[in-house]
Homo-oligomer: A and B are copies of this chain.
Amino acid sequence: MQGFGKFSSKKAGLTPGTMVYVGDKKPEKPRITIIDYSQDTFTEKIVENIEDCFGYKDTGTVTWINVDGLHDLKLIEKLGRKFDVHQLILEDIVDTGQRPKIEDAETYLFIILRMIYFDDDENEIKSEQISLILNGTCVISFQETVGDIFDIIRDRIRTGAGKVRKMGADYLAYSLVDAIVDNYFSIIEKTGEKIEDMEEGLLNNPTFENLKTIHELKRGIIQLRRSIWPLREVVNSLEKGESPLIQKTTRVYLRDVYDHTIQVMDTVESFRDTVSGLLDVYLSSMSNRMNEVMKVLTVISTIFMPLTFITGLYGMNFNTEASPLNMPELNWKYGYVFMWSVTLIITVSMVAYFKRKKWF
Residue positions of A touching B, CB distance < 8 A: 5-9, 11-13, 15-18, 86, 88, 92, 97-99, 101, 103, 152, 156, 161-164, 175, 178, 182, 185-186, 188-189, 192, 203, 208, 211-212, 215, 218-219, 222-223, 226, 230, 252-253, 255-256, 259, 262-263, 266-267, 270, 273-274, 277, 279-291, 293-298, 300-302, 304-309, 311-320, 322-323, 325-327, 329-337, 339, 359
Contact = CB atoms under 8 A, between A and B. Distances in A.
22 contacts: A5-B267, A7-B192, A7-B267, A12-B185, A15-B162, A15-B164, A17-B162, A88-B253, A99-B262, A203-B212, A203-B215, A211-B281, A215-B281, A219-B277, A226-B270, A286-B291, A294-B294, A294-B298, A296-B302, A301-B301, A311-B313, A325-B333
Contacts of A97: 263
A274 B309 contact: no
A270 B222 contact: yes
Main secondary structure of the interface of A (DSSP, over half): helix
A161 B16 CA distance: 10
Contact of A302 (B297, B308, B333): B297
Contacts of A222: 270, 273-274, 277
A219 to B, nearest CB: 7
Given A9-B186, A203-B212, A318-B330, 15 more contacts: A5-B266, A6-B192, A16-B178, A222-B270, A226-B270, A290-B290, A290-B291, A297-B302, A300-B302, A304-B309, A305-B305, A311-B312, A311-B315, A316-B330, A325-B333
Contacts of A270: 5, 222-223, 226
Given A274-B222, A293-B294, A293-B295, A186 B312 contact: no
Contacts of A18: 162
B335 A185 contact: no
Contacts of A178: 16
Closest 4 CB pairs of A and B: A311-B312, A15-B162, A314-B316, A304-B305
Contacts of A6: 189, 192
Contacts of A266: 5, 99, 226, 230
Contact of A161 (B15, B162, B223, B267): B15
Given A317-B315, A330-B318, A186 B12 contact: yes
Given A215-B281, A285-B211, A291-B293, A318 B304 contact: no
A300 B222 CA distance: 43
A263 B92 CA distance: 13
Given A313-B311, A319-B331, A256 B290 contact: no
